[in-house]
Amino acid sequence: MNGEEKEKRYICGKNKVLEALKSGQPLIRIFIAGDLDRHVAGQIMRLAAEANIPYGQIDKRQLAKIAGDGARGVAAEAAACDYVDLADILAKAAEDPQPLLLLLDDIEDPHNLGAILRTALAAGATGAIVPKRNAAPLNDTVMRTSAGAVNYLPVARVSNLTQTIEELKKQGFWIIGGDMQGQCLWQVDMSGPIALVMGSEGKGLSPLVRKHCDFIASIPMQGQVGSLNVSVAAGILLYEAARKRGASS
């Protein structure tokens, strides 16, 4: 990464980083040099913790390698693409008689996230919703893997996924979780406003999120393979929803 690329990717210097934190700018992580003023470092750490942004202290030479010589004691890695407010996605959904939302429960691999968002855009999804904690950020890897889909598919980041699910229900959405223990996908009604929920790579849907789903849809499996990669599973559910909704329109 050359100096110009680092300048675009990293926000450097205590004042700029503090301003980014206070304004709510999407940040991936923050690097703090060990010799940064303790008061300033403490303020940055407190704001980062409140915003659920990972941070850590490193040697100033390491910081220079990561963010360039202009880091000046602290650097924040900026998201490659901005998140939108949930209200923006709901406003867009209100314009569609059959909106399709995608909720991602703790997808931590940026390659999986990028692949899922790429398929979601291609399948006609209205938008995607991810939690602030335990979720891959919209970084360069997601941008590349999605083939630029994140520039066109709005992604909202929320503090509590289950609360968001309940809000979607009030807005008239049916919530369909993807899990191996559920009703066969081919038999699930996917008409009207729906939100598909996909779980994490290793554990699937969390018990609390699963409990808040209206239906659980499973993908029929044959052979000796017991599960699919989450990006593949998401693609199957998304296109089954698109197929059924296209047939009913």
Give the list of residues 6+ apart from residue 194 with CB closer than 8 angstroms, or none.
98, 99, 100, 101, 173, 174, 175, 176, 241
Domain finish residue from 78, 103, 136: 78
Q: Which domain holds residue 109?
A: 86-248
Do 229 and 108 lie in one domain? The reply is yes
Dist CA 15 CA 40 (whole Å):
9
Expressed in angstroms, the distance from the first to the final Cα of the chain is 48
pLDDT of residue 100 exceeding 60, the answer is yes
State which amino acid sits at residue 32: I
User: How far is residue 165's CA from residue 193's CA, in Å, rounded to a whole number?
Assistant: 13
* Mean pLDDT, range 89-105, rounded to an integer: 95
Whichever domain contains 198, its CATH number is 3.40.1280.10
pLDDT surpasses 50 at 76: yes
Q: What is the tens place of the pLDDT at every residue in 182-200?
A: 999 999 999 999 999 999 8
With beta carbons less than 8 A apart as the criterion, state whether 230 and 116 touch: yes
Query: Pick from 23, 53, 78: which residue ends a domain?
Result: 78
Q: How many CB atoms lie within 10 A of CB 36?
A: 19
* pTM of the complete model: 0.77
- Those residues with Cβ within 8 angstroms of residue 170's Cβ, 6 or more apart along the chain or in another chain: none
Alpha-carbon span 90 to 126, nearest angstrom: 9
Separation of alpha carbons 179 and 205, rounded Å: 7
Unique residue bearing structure tokens 């059959």: 98
Q: How much of the chain exceeds pLDDT 90, in percent?
A: 64
**The dihedral sign for the CA sequence 161, 166, 170, 172:** positive
- Same domain flag for 157 and 128: yes
Give the tens place of pLDDT for each residue, 29-63: 899 998 899 999 999 999 998 887 889 999 988 99
* Statement to judge: residues 116 and 182 lie in one domain: yes
Average pLDDT of every residue of the chain: 89
Give me the pLDDT at residue 195, please.
Answer: 98
As a whole number, mean pLDDT of residues 98-108 equals: 95
Look up residue 52 and give its DSSP letter: T
Cα 226 to Cα 178, 179, 229: the distances in Å are 14, 12, 10
> Do 143 and 118 have their domain in common?
yes
Same domain, 166 and 124: yes
The answer, yes or no, to whether residue 211 has pLDDT greater than 70, is yes
Query: Among 78, 97, 131, which residue terminates a domain?
Result: 78
Number of folded domains in the chain?
Answer: 2
- Residue 248, pLDDT above cutoff 50: no
